[in-house]
Amino acid sequence: MLYYLIIAIKVFCLYHVYKNHKPYYWFFVIFLIPVAGAIFYIITQVLTTRDVNTFQKEITSIVNPTKKIKDLEKKIEFTDTYANRMDLADAYFGITAYQNAISNYEKTLEDEVQNSTYSHQQLILCYFQLKDFKKVIHHVEKIKSKPDFKGSVQQFCYGLALRENGNLELAEAQLKEIDRPYSNYSERLELAKFYLENNRREEGKSILEDINNEAQHMTKPNRRLFRQTINEAEQILKTL
């Protein structure tokens, strides 16, 4: 397998030399130094400076996410724009620093010229993680009339927030929106639990059976991806 990969890389490099009219000495570099020569060619001739810089930034943000945040904070100190503030909020959200993310998303709402939908969507997710269900409901009220709210993760959070606040009828109406075949497995599992907790055994069992049946037709990658949900659904079914 490695042999064919090396051959493919060499062929790509040779084709790139020919197509882009690179100096002929590159043919000799790639032929005489098979692996190192091809890698050196890709780095110096295929990837642009912009590509390399972007790649370096992405690697740095993964290895050291706090550096990305510090850099964004410095950008805001220099120029506090809507875009910079949103980038900082997203960076905090990415490392699950929800309180910091909230303060920055809330700040973006002060700019009334911008579309506030995304900020409200993110605030719903943040407050849900912090179990502040009243704030979840507050921000849902701002966007629930939007077309993309239906069937979204925000609607799911809304349904669970309503359940926690004791509004079971409305909670059910929201949670049922995400009961769609071959998707939303973790959300549908929560809906099944909702039914079981409210003495609606057959409805809960039906959803669990659907999840179990759909799992039999999943590809291996999808089955691995949803393994925890599938296993939990199976375990609950055994108790019914």
Record the pTM: 0.68
Our count of domains for the chain comes to 2
* Integer Cα distance of 103 and 15 in angstroms: 52
Domain termination residue (choose one: 57, 75, 94): 57
Domain termination residue (choose one: 57, 89, 105): 57
Kindly state whether residue 33 falls inside one of the protein's structural domains.
Answer: yes
Nearest to 225, CA basis, from 193, 182, 178, 168: 182
Domain termination residue (choose one: 57, 72, 93): 57
Kindly state whether residue 35 falls inside one of the protein's structural domains.
Answer: yes
Kindly state whether residue 53 falls inside one of the protein's structural domains.
Answer: yes
Kindly state whether residue 48 falls inside one of the protein's structural domains.
Answer: yes
Kindly state whether residue 130 falls inside one of the protein's structural domains.
Answer: no
Range of the domain at 40: 1-57
Q: In tens digits, what is the pLDDT along the chain, a chain of 240 residues?
A: 566 566 777 777 777 777 777 776 677 777 777 677 777 767 776 665 455 455 445 545 554 567 778 888 888 888 889 999 999 999 889 888 999 999 999 999 998 888 899 999 999 999 999 999 999 999 999 999 998 998 899 999 999 999 999 999 999 999 988 888 888 888 899 899 999 998 999 999 999 999 999 999 888 888 888 899 999 999 999 998
Return all residues near 201 (Cβ < 8 A) that are at least 6 apart. Answer: 195, 240
Nearest to 30, CA basis, from 12, 51, 48, 46: 12
